[in-house]
């Protein structure tokens, strides 16, 4: 163990601390990442005490990357929200060899290649997080959240010694986001539950729940006592990082920076190579030190990933191949129905509690009446229940040999259990629906929550718990009632201080200034998502034109088929829906409109990339203008890019555009290009300083 005399000066202390921090970081790496300790615990503790003594004598020398700062800060009242620079979205799943082969076939056909190389690795069963490093220093860590906004858990993540506090390089990138998974090793999970049992504490159901609960402790000192681990699986946003051409290069780069990465990662060719890897990992699954629920395949070359792009909320170039779901047998004790946001009546089996897929299951979806009849499920039956990953548990089959004599048939209700309205089953549909619309309490709560969500009207603070209170106290019965709320009403609610009430009212007021696409999406029309809402807004130009459209007119909209057209038409034909919409407009909800004839598609086929901070436009506003003119926005620069719109502090995208000779625009040039009257159209938009922050189109995964 290193011994040292007390430094006489601050300069000497600084030099000694530099040596100690580097030495302790090296020991942490070998212990927590390589599982190959270099020194005994006693020697490590001795060095750590020397560091603490120096920092106590010279407190001005304490830095954020010091090992002493891993114990965490003061307990927090709650977690702040973090807007992800690049969205953290999930992958599509494959559950069979046929689905795997179909994935590989789609990739080969899209790329016009005979075979494709894939980067492969186990799919960790943990909690997805993102780590942000600025000039090599770990400055922020956040959970995945909804993919666009997560929770700031920086202090808790600092307690995980497998995560570097500072990148071990002389020339770190100006910005580097590392994506990965926080988890708990099986042996640590067992030890933790033993400790919980000995102290009379609550036992955790599985390592994933233990890891998630530990990371979301408001007191970082409690997190520090939990044995959490971390594995990196990819990169997010970066500035000044080396040029990496493939996923395996990115993983090696992370390994070189001393991040824990899977030693089971590999590069495989074609469907046969993927299937062999899947089988190999499946055989090793039970012996691995951590839980996994499948394997992940990604097209290895980044250039090919860019060519393939994305579909909906998932990349075309990657897929998660899940292991067969775990199954168990239990008894159906009752069958009830749940009412969804759109009025869908779903039968649900209430089960005798059974442990399956890592959790205790008490409910399972029966999907719809046809499925219930097809499987011949009766109340009292013994059934096989399946749970695959985070998928809602479902009843797979009935054991007819165990059917009791008093088993009884379930009948779908003719009246909604929530509001008493008539239940109907539309022709050619498998789902029965409540006709109560916005008067149904079940639909009302979910409709208001959806209406206030970030991608809809973006009313921050109006979440599920507050909506529950507003509906239960009958302060909000219809969407327009949101805009009638008063300070006195809000402060009278449970756990609603005056400041919080003011914040909610401010968010409600700001939400009145929106876009037609957001408003359409916020209405919660069945089968109308963000993309369809945007298409409807662009096609009709105004709400009045949309309200007057018949089914035939709606089907002329891009990607709108008969089901969506009929659902949209029926929604706007309901008098109470029109009344609520008119009431919201009367209360000040508005958006810039334009007639269909004024819309131009002159940028059809043009691909734009946005980088840096524009003087007045937020990124989603700039994106909306480009798309309204027929253009598309991409998250990365390539030879196919038509224009790069650059603002202040533009980074590597601008440099790449200059190298490729791509035309570069500033905000003024963009406005002139998209449409002559764009600046007038934006007067309302840019005034809204609470519009949703931009979420780049190219998401990170898992």
pLDDT tens-place string over residues 620-649: 778 878 877 778 888 888 888 999 999 988
pLDDT (tens digit per residue) in 291-309: 898 999 999 999 999 999 8
Residue 524 near residue 342 (C-beta atoms within 8 A): yes
- The distance from CA 656 to its chain's CA centroid, rounded to whole angstroms, is 29
Q: What percent of the chain has pLDDT over 90?
A: 44
CB atoms within 10 A of CB 561: 11
Alpha-carbon span 325 to 391, nearest angstrom: 10
652 HSE (CA, 13 A, CB side): 15
Q: Strand locations in 300-343, DSSP E?
A: 310-311, 314-315, 318-322, 326-339
Closest CA to 336 of 322, 351, 356, 323: 351
Residue 182 CA to residue 159 CA, distance in Å, equals: 12
| Apex 369 CA angle, 364 and 374, nearest 5 | 85
- Show the 3-state SS of 123-159: EECCEEEEEEEECCEEEEEEECCCCCEEEECHHHHHC
Query: Which CATH entry fits the domain spanning 437-511: 2.40.50.140, 1.10.150.20, 1.10.8.60, 2.30.30.90?
Result: 1.10.150.20
Class of domain 600-701: alpha beta
Rounded-to-integer distance, Cα 437 and Cα 416, Å: 11
What CATH number was assigned to the domain covering residues 516-586?
A: 1.10.150.20
Nearest by Cα to 13 from 67, 47, 57, 48: 57
H helix or E strand, kind and range, residue 294: strand 292-299
Closest by CA position to 334, among listed 308, 352, 361, 319: 352
Per-residue confidence at 700, pLDDT binned at 50, 70, 90? Answer: very low
Instruction: Say whether pLDDT at 221 is over 60.
Output: yes
In three-state form (DSSP H/G/I as H, E/B as E, the rest C), the secondary structure along 88-113 is EECCCEECCHHHHHHHHHHHHHHHCC
pLDDT at 144 over 60: yes
Q: Residues of CATH 1.10.150.20 domain(s) within the chain?
A: 437-511, 516-586
C-alpha 626 chain-centroid distance: 25
What is the distance between the alpha carbons of residues 24 and 28, in angstroms, rounded to a whole number?
A: 6
* pLDDT score, position 297: 97
What is the percent of the chain with per-residue pLDDT over 70, rounded to a whole number? 90
54 contacts: CB under 8 Å, gap ≥ 6: 7, 13, 16, 17, 20, 61
- Residue 330 — very low, low, confident or very high, per pLDDT cuts 50/70/90? very high
Q: How far is Cα 624 from Cα 628, in angstroms, rounded to an integer?
A: 6
Using pLDDT thresholds of 50, 70 and 90, give the confidence band for residue 696: very low
Lowest mean per-residue pLDDT among 98-107, 126-135, 417-426 = 417-426
Question: Phi and psi of 439, rounded to 5°?
Answer: -90, -10
Q: How far apart are CA 594 and CA 678, in angstroms?
A: 11
Q: Are 215 and 156 in contact (CB under 8 A)?
A: yes
Angle between helices 207-215 and 186-198 (to 10 degrees): 70
Residues 224 and 222: their CA atoms lie apart, in Å, by 5
| 167 vs 538, higher pLDDT | 167
Strands 314-315 and 88-89: unpaired
pTM of the model: 0.52
Query: How far is the C-alpha of 576 from the C-alpha of 111, rounded, in Å?
Result: 50
Note the pLDDT of residue 174: 95
For residue 442, the surrounding DSSP H or E stretch is helix 441-452
> Where along the chain do the CATH 3.40.50.10190 domains lie?
600-701
Q: SS3 sequence, 669-685?
A: HHHHHHCCCHHHHHHHH
Cβ partners under 8 Å of residue 489, min gap 6? 475
Among candidate residues 21, 105, 123, 656, the one labeled active-site is 123
What's the whole-number mean pLDDT along residues 363-389? 88
* pLDDT, position 691: 34
Backbone angles phi and psi of 550, in degrees to 5: -95, 180
Q: What are phi and psi of 652, to 5 degrees?
A: -65, -25
How far apart CA 363 and CA 348 sit, in angstroms, is 7
Show the DSSP H helices in 473-605 as ranges: 487-491, 498-511, 516-522, 530-540, 543-547, 551-554, 562-573, 575-586
The answer to whether 225 is a known catalytic residue is no
Q: What's the order of all strands across the beta sheet hosting 175-183?
A: 137-143, 127-134, 175-183, 229-239
Is 182 in contact with 228 (CB distance < 8 Å)? yes
CB burial of residue 482 (10 Å; 0-12, 13-18, 19+): buried
Lowest mean pLDDT among 106-110, 174-178, 380-384, 677-681: 677-681
DSSP β-bridge partners for residue 385: 328, 395
Q: Which CATH architecture has domain 97-322?
A: 2-Layer Sandwich (3.30)
506-557 per-position pLDDT tens digit: 999 999 999 999 999 999 887 888 888 988 998 898 999 999 999 999 998 8
Name the CATH superfamily for 10-62.
Answer: Helix hairpin bin (1.10.287.610)
pLDDT confidence band for 4 (50 / 70 / 90): low
- Rounded Cα gap, residues 567 and 573, in angstroms: 10
Is there a contact between 359 and 206 (Cβ–Cβ < 8 Å)?
yes
Please state, in angstroms and rounded to a whole number, the distance separating the CA atoms of residues 681 and 687: 11
**Mean pLDDT in residue range 392-421:** 90
pLDDT for residue 678 is more than 60 = no
The CATH superfamily holding the domain 325-435 is Nucleic acid-binding proteins (2.40.50.140)
Query: Are the CB atoms for 279 and 125 separated by under 8 Å?
Result: no
In the chain, which residues fall in CATH 1.10.287.610? 10-62
Alpha-carbon distance 685 to 252, whole Å? 44
Q: Rounded to whole angstroms, how far apart are CA atoms 253 and 235? A: 10
Confidence class for position 78, pLDDT limits 50, 70, 90: low
**Segments of the chain assigned to CATH 3.30.470.30:** 97-322
Q: Are 398 and 366 in contact (CB under 8 A)?
A: no
Q: How far is CA 405 from CA 331, 333, 336, 379, 400, in A?
A: 14, 14, 21, 11, 11
CA distance 60 to 54: 10
């Amino acid at each position: 163990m290193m011994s040292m005399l007390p430094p006489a000066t601050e300069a000497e202390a600084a030099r000694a601390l530099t040596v100690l921090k580097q030495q302790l970081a090296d020991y942490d790496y070998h212990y927590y990442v390589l599982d190959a300790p270099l020194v005994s615990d006693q020697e490590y503790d001795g060095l750590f005490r020397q560091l603490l003594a120096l920092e106590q004598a010279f407190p001005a020398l304490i830095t954020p990357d010091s090992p002493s700062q891993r114990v965490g800060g003061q307990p927090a009242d709650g977690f702040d929200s973090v807007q992800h620079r690049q969205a953290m979205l999930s992958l599509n799943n494959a559950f069979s060899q046929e689905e795997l082969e179909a994935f590989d076939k789609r990739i080969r056909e899209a790329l016009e290649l005979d075979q494709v190389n894939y980067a492969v690795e186990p799919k960790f069963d943990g909690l997805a997080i993102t780590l942000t490093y600025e000039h090599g220093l770990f400055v922020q860590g956040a959970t995945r959240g909804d993919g666009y906004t997560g929770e700031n858990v920086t202090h808790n993540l600092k307690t995980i010694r497998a995560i570097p506090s500072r990148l071990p390089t002389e020339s770190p990138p100006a910005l580097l986001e590392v994506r990965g998974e926080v988890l708990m090793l099986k042996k640590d999970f067992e030890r933790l539950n033993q400790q919980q049992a000995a102290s009379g504490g609550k036992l955790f159901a599985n390592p994933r729940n233990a890891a998630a609960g530990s990371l979301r402790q408001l007191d970082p000192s409690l997190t520090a006592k939990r044995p959490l681990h971390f594995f990196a699986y990819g990169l997010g946003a970066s500035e000044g990082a080396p040029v990496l051409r493939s996923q395996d290069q990115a993983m090696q780069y992370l390994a070189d920076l001393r991040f824990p990465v899977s030693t089971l990662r590999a590069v495989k060719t074609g469907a046969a190579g993927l299937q062999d890897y899947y089988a190999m990992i499946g055989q090793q699954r039970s012996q691995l030190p951590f839980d996994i629920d499948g394997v992940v395949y990604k097209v290895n070359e980044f250039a090919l990933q860019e060519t393939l792009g994305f579909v909906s909320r998932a990349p075309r170039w990657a897929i998660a191949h899940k292991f067969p779901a775990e199954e168990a047998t239990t008894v159906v004790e009752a069958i009830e129905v749940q009412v969804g946001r759109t009025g869908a009546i779903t039968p649900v089996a209430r089960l005798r509690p059974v442990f399956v897929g890592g959790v205790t299951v008490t409910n399972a979806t029966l999907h719809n009446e046809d499925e219930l009849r097809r499987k011949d499920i009766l109340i009292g039956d013994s059934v096989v229940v399946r749970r695959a990953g985070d998928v809602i548990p479902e009843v797979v089959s009935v054991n007819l040999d165990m059917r009791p004599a008093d088993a009884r048939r379930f009948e779908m209700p003719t009246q909604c259990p929530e509001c008493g309205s008539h239940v109907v089953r539309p022709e050619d549909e498998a789902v029965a629906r409540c006709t109560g619309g916005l008067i149904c309490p079940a639909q009302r709560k979910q409709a208001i929550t959806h209406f206030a969500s970030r991608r809809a009207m973006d009313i921050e603070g109006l979440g599920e718990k507050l909506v529950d209170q507003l509906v239960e106290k009958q302060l909000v019965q219809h969407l327009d009632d949101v805009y009638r709320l008063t300070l006195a009403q809000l402060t009278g609610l449970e756990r609603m201080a005056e400041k919080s009430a003011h914040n909610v009212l401010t968010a409600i007021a700001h939400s009145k200034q929106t876009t037609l696409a957001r408003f359409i999406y916020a209405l919660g029309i069945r089968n109308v998502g963000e993309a369809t809402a945007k298409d409807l807004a662009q096609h009709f130009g105004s709400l009045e034109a949309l309200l007057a459209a018949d089914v035939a007119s709606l089907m002329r909209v891009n990607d709108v088929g008969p089901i969506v057209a009929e659902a949209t038409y029926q929604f706007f034909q309901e008098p109470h829906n029109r009344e609520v919409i008119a009431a919201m407009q009367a209360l000040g909800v508005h958006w810039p409109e334009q007639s269909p004839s004024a819309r131009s598609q002159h940028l059809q086929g043009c691909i734009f990339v946005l980088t840096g901070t524009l003087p007045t436009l937020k990124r989603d506003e700039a994106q909306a203008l480009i798309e309204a003119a027929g253009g598309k926005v991409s998250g990365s620069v390539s030879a196919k890019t038509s224009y790069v719109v650059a603002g202040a502090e533009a980074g590597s995208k601008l440099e790449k555009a200059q190298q490729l000779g791509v035309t570069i625009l500033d905000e003024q040039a963009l406005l002139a290009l998209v449409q002559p009257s764009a600046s007038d159209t934006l007067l309302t938009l840019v005034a809204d300083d609470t519009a949703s922050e931009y979420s780049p189109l190219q998401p990170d995964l898992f």
